[in-house]
Amino acid sequence: MSWTGPSSTEEVTVPDIVGLIVTEARDVAWKAGVVIASADPDGPPVRALTWPGVWMVTSQHPAPGSRMRRGGSLVIEFEEVPDAK
């Protein structure tokens, strides 16, 4: 489940970040007004899970084009890109 943000905050459109490298996805999400998060809310942050290496976003929730509160969490799944430098 994603955190949708404070109820008093404006809504933003969820960007499509599937297929992006996690560092790029973080920038795209931030510019859209949301933050990326791992599916495990009690686990380590995405930055800790994706360092070192090159990691690609394989899925996201909510879906691209959905509306959510500014500052809400866009939950992603990701996998390491083999042999990436």
Check: CB of residue 29 under 8 Å from CB of residue 20: no
* Residue 39 placed within a domain: yes
Residue 5 lies in a domain: no
| pLDDT tier at 85, thresholds 50, 70, 90 | low
Q: Say if CB 18 and CB 78 are below 8 A apart.
A: no
On whether residue 1 sits in a domain, the answer given is: no
Structural domain containing residue 27: 11-80
- The domain total for the chain is 1
Place of tokens 């930055």: 47
| CATH number of the domain residue 54 falls in | 3.30.10.20
Q: How far apart are CA 85 and CA 69, in angstroms?
A: 35
Q: Which residues pair with 37 in a beta bridge?
A: 75
Give the pLDDT score at 57: 98
Tokens 């459109």 belong to residue: 13
What confidence category does residue 36 fall into, taking pLDDT thresholds of 50, 70 and 90?
very high
- 30 assigned to some structural domain: yes
Residue 6 in any domain: the answer is no
Would you say how long the chain is, in residues?
85
